[in-house]
Amino acid sequence: MAYWYNIATKQVETDENRSRNDDVMGPYDSEEQARAALDTARANTEQWDAEDRAWEGKDETEA
C-alpha cells in the first residue's frame, strides 16, 4: 500500500482514500514517511540549492 500526504488537509491518505487532485505528495512507503513529506521536501530543496550554488561557483571560476 502507498501513502500520500495531502498538503491541503495536512492528513496522510492511502491508495484507498487518496484525493484525486494536485494537493497530494507521494507516494511513500510508510505512513511515517508521508507524515514527514514537508520536512523531506524542505531538506531536499536546501540540499539542491546548496548544490546549485556550488555548481554556479565552479562555473564562474572556469569562465
How high is the pLDDT of residue 21? 85
The reported pTM is: 0.75
Count structural domains, the chain: 1
Please state, rounded to an integer, the average pLDDT across all residues of the chain.
90
Range of the domain at 12: 3-62
Q: Which residue has the cell 554556479?
A: 56
Reported as half-sphere exposure (CB side, CA atoms, 13 A), residue 48 has a value of 6
pLDDT at 4 over 50: yes
Question: Where in 1-63 does DSSP place strands (E)?
Answer: 3-6, 11-14, 24-28
| Residue with the larger pLDDT of the pair 4 and 21 | 4
How high is the pLDDT of residue 61? 45
**Mean pLDDT, to the nearest integer, of 17-41?**
95
